[in-house]
Amino acid sequence: MISENITKQQFIIQVLERDVRNIYKAQLAIAQQNVYIKGKQLKRVKARGPKIGVYSGSLLESLQNPDYLIQAKGESFIVSAGIVKHMRFLDMKKFGNRKIYNRQVWGILYNNALRDIRNNYGKAIYDYLGETLKEAFNQKV
């Protein structure tokens, strides 16, 4: 018997895992290629000004080797990620507003993860149950 709660946790963790990786990819593209990442489709737009993350290399290193953890606690989910301290300051207008932190984290989580969890959970359960039944009927007894 499939527990709906476990299946729901697995689905949400998969969506969060996908989008945390997308956040790191978007941030790495901003740091390496001097672009902005916009919209649900993660469209790349060339930015003006100098590249970021090339002086000490700590920003690029942290984005190339992401350090994050996704945990389920009851019906809550916790995403913890390690970032370099100065990444938060790169979003401030005084430093060029690189849109590397707030825009990526909240944009991707709100536009992609939240909508997928809200709208696609039923479809994911339907597909999962279908595959489970196919496997059960294809096994030889």
pLDDT digits (tens, 9 = 90+) for 101-113: 888 888 888 888 8
64's CB contacts (< 8 A; 6+ apart) are 28
Residue among 15, 14, 35 nearest 25 (CA): 35
User: DSSP per residue over 7-40, as a string?
Assistant: HHHHHHHHHHHHHHHHHHHHHHHHHHH-EEEETT
Whether pLDDT at 73 is above 80: yes
| DSSP category for residue 11 | H
Query: Would you call 51 exposed, middle or buried from its count of C-beta atoms within 10 A (0-12, 13-18, 19+)?
Result: middle
Per the CB < 8 A criterion, the answer to whether 111 and 119 are in contact is no
pLDDT digits (tens, 9 = 90+) for 14-60: 999 999 999 999 888 888 877 777 777 777 777 666 667 666 778 88
- Predicted TM-score (pTM) of this structure: 0.75
Per the CB < 8 A criterion, the answer to whether 92 and 130 are in contact is no
Classify strands 67-73 and 43-46 as parallel, antiparallel or unpaired.
unpaired
Number of H helices, E strands in the chain: 4, 4
Domain limits, the chain: 4-135
